[in-house]
Structure 1
């Protein structure tokens, strides 16, 4: 199994596990809320019945007991008559529950206390939204056939309803922060491994390359073969090895970008590369020959090498590789499209192909496209992605660079 598919399966399992935990937490909290809600409804009912008893009973001792029970209940409630006029209230804001008002036409004289209309209107509307009222039948001597008791959830129950969502939010924030920190640390560690491996490779290649260069010069002198085509090709390959070592030595340091004609740089490498692959694969280069971009030629050649090698490996038998260069004057960008007629890539793998270790070849390391992405994005301030691909028909990679001449 591909390591990224295995990782994806683990991500799905972790996501399902997290969903189970979240669902369990919400379910249990909802269970508690329902039970506490039932208990509060019972309290509201008890308070309503004690109020009814207060209005109809003449037993003072019993009434004292009833008042103690009633006042111990913590559920906020309002009693209205059948016309909607508020008669009693409990458990509300004491600073707004009742206010002293002056008696009509008698300045300075306090009348009976009345409730704050706006505050009670809001509280009553909230209670009506939450629960159906409890009906109390009142003796006719009070002039009303019934009263209605409205109540709402206590502060504890309200907090309990909100708590699981706050808890899940905090857990989500913690997990995001932890994942970001861990991912950043892992990437930093990977970067250090990349840099160390690259520089060590460059160091290891240095000695045999120098020896090969010396042996070629000795062969030229011994056999007087300065223009021998075989030795010239050997010399070109050794120089290519020297360029490869130079590439690795530049990993981890900021390369110098110089203005280059993109078409000329691409053409030079395509001409070098195409004579080293089978003649069953044809190459075609076309597009704007004037566009310029900031390039580090050794590293950009490495990008082209990885893309062209992948294209060759994707073609089974005969095929064609096209490189098209064009620009956008409005966006000041250069587009380089590398297309092949190979086996193609499924859409689900468009992002995966750039990850380290991903390969479809039995002996591949899966580092080529990962390095390519790093060199384009980190060193050339550009972009690279799979522009289009269809299984069985071919793939097009797109490179985007800034047009410094625009």
Structure 2
């Protein structure tokens, strides 16, 4: 199991633990909510019985009955069989007022009136939460009275509490993870830049020595026109380019307009003579499209993709490179297709992650570096356009096209 797979495993473990903790919190809170709801139902029944008792009790017991009744803080509405409100409990008292009906100058009849919109809305809430308690109250006719009640403010808040709690924890963890990840990436980038520049510095001395030794060999054996010497010079020049690549890591490279077809073909011509003769190379497409390129870095991109294509081909196969554009002509497409093993669709994104590799001795940095160069340094995009197991893979690079009249952007 490589480092990337280990990292994913830990992410899944931590996610599983988070889900267990969240589920436990929700289950326990729901248990408390259920118990409090049962308690409030009992209190609502007690209030209904106390209401009935207050009507039929004598003066001696009346104060006690009222005290028992008022101990319940569950909001409630009492209606008759026709739905007319008889009394309420625990609701907004400003929504009711007392109207005096003048029967005679010596006798005034008090009548409670209610804000119909407010109380109807409250009753609908109560209906949605609990079945009404049916009770017959003395002096209100032969029909049943209905007592509607709803959850107390405490119970309502308790129901919302776990979701608020989990939301706050999630936001906190997201902020903490983002800050930690940003700090870690910044540290990794600093290490990466330092290592790259040190590598370029270390390569400088042996490359200079190799150039000198080649010149001595030419003079000693009079091999100025020897093709082997020419290839050795090409390899030393390639080492110079590699050192130059590493020296550019961490700095903003200068992009210049180049014909994409020519740049890619130059590297393919260098690369194909250094691989198995059973692998054929083919270049097709538009030969006039321009894009802003830093050639040493962009050659690195093509090199990594071609090396992956060669490694994917077991014995014999082909690699095709096609240069094209889209209908609106503002982008350049570079498609690199091989006839290798193919990539599972589930790995289309993960192959660009640092540390991901299918080779025993691979570091898993090639495609990650390729993506960084294309997206961060060339403002382009790279992805797996298509792949089928056993048939091959197509990588696509997208670059912004530069027309002759457009200024070059660094």
CA distance in 2, matches of 1:374, 1:101: 79
| Structure 1 residue 31, shift from structure 2 partner | 0.9
| Contact 1:292/1:405, CA 8 A, preserved across alignment | yes
CA distance in 1, matches of 2:319, 2:309: 7
SS state of the match for residue 304, structure 2?
A: helix
| Structure 1 residue 117, shift from structure 2 partner | 1.8
Could you tell me which residue of structure 2 aligns to residue 282 of structure 1? 280
CA distance in 2, matches of 1:180, 1:323: 39
SS state of the match for residue 179, structure 2?
A: helix
Change beyond 3 A, Cα 1:277–1:328 = same
1:9 and 2:9 aligned: yes
| Contact 1:138/1:146, CA 8 A, preserved across alignment | yes
CA distance in 2, matches of 1:389, 1:56: 85
CA distance in 1, matches of 2:311, 2:30: 58
Aligned length: 401
CA distance in 1, matches of 2:239, 2:123: 84
* TM-score calculated relative to the size of structure 2: 0.93
Could you tell me which residue of structure 2 aligns to residue 167 of structure 1? 165
Could you tell me which residue of structure 2 aligns to residue 29 of structure 1? 29
| Contact 1:127/1:151, CA 8 A, preserved across alignment | yes
**Structure 1 segments unaligned to the other structure (5+ residues):** none
Match of 2:219 among 214, 217, 221: 221
Match of 2:380 among 379, 382, 385: 382
Could you tell me which residue of structure 2 aligns to residue 200 of structure 1? 198
CA deviation profile, 1:28-71 (whole Å, cap 9, x unmatched): 111111111111111111111111011112x2121111111111
CA distance in 1, matches of 2:153, 2:329: 58
| Contact 1:81/1:144, CA 8 A, preserved across alignment | no
Could you tell me which residue of structure 2 aligns to residue 75 of structure 1? 74
SS state of the match for residue 290, structure 1?
A: coil
| Structure 1 residue 101, shift from structure 2 partner | 4.7
Could you tell me which residue of structure 2 aligns to residue 230 of structure 1? 228
SS state of the match for residue 163, structure 2?
A: helix
1:370 and 2:341 aligned: no
| Contact 1:345/1:395, CA 8 A, preserved across alignment | yes
SS state of the match for residue 225, structure 1?
A: coil
Could you tell me which residue of structure 1 aligns to residue 53 of structure 2? 53
Could you tell me which residue of structure 1 aligns to residue 331 of structure 2? 333
Change beyond 3 A, Cα 1:63–1:100 = closer
| Structure 1 residue 362, shift from structure 2 partner | 2.1
Match of 2:389 among 372, 388, 391: 391
| Structure 1 residue 273, shift from structure 2 partner | 0.8
Could you tell me which residue of structure 2 aligns to residue 39 of structure 1? 39
